[in-house]
Amino acid sequence: METVKQTLKISFYTQKGGVGKSTITTLLASVLHYRLGFNVLVMDCDFPQHSLTNMRERDKKTIMQSDYHKKAAMKQFQTINKKAYTIIKCNAENALEKALEHIDRTGILPEVTLFDLPGTANTKGVLTTLKAMDFIFSPITADRLVVESTLGFTKAFLQLPEIGKNKKDQSIWLFWNQVDGREKTGLYDAYQAVIDELKLSVMDTRIMDSKRFRKETDDTGNYVFRSSLLPADPLLMKTTRMDTFIEEFLRITNL
């Protein structure tokens, strides 16, 4: 009997704003799709700002206005002969349905579908959609409120009853983001001890803080970092440790 292939459903989720879930989603999607050869679909469910949809529109304008980025986009297309990954604007409650509709319509099954969800867990459809994920990755920063909020939510989420008849195997991973190299490692060790007590999984890679995360591709510099149309420069990936983060991500998800 032939196994029916399915897309891997993944969300970078946290209830706290400003810890980088949409930025990490974009960086990962672009590297997977443009550099590593995976087909990626992104569901932008983060109502009302829909930041990923708006970023795509800004990226299109930037490429048309910048010779550097226009040449980079042309070279990329000629090299991989591949269109930009699709970003679908939707609500949390219809995200799964919209993703299936897109796959049926195009006939293209992405290896990875990323869901960027609202940070407010009581928004209609958020918990149901999260329960349907194969993997949830939660960014945390060395801030007591962020850690407590994330751990509290994760613990409560794991205790929620299954939705539907079929129990889903699901993996939840925390990861340190916006790490300041000047901070004492003892701070992270203390938080890590609490996380270990709760028996939660934490990725080994810690993503370093950088002003690059807060700066989109524009016409003022000849580099690419946060863009939905081009993958980040390898040097910037290395500086922020996003390269090792993605390597670990691939191992965890078996992609």
The CATH number that domain 8-253 falls under is 3.40.50.300
What whole-number distance in Å separates Cα of residue 63 and Cα of residue 44?
22
pLDDT tens, per residue, the chain with 255 residues? 334 468 999 999 988 777 788 889 999 999 999 999 999 999 999 888 899 999 999 999 988 888 888 898 899 988 998 999 999 999 999 999 999 999 999 999 999 999 999 988 888 999 999 999 999 999 999 888 899 999 999 999 998 887 665 556 899 999 999 898 777 677 788 888 889 998 999 999 999 987 655 555 554 456 678 899 999 889 889 999 999 999 999 999 999
pTM of the model: 0.91
Instruction: Report domain extents, the chain.
Output: 8-253
Residues 6+ apart with CB under 8 A from 153: 14, 15, 121
pLDDT in tens, 129-165: 999 999 999 999 988 889 999 999 999 999 888 766 5
Encoded tokens for 165:
């008849």
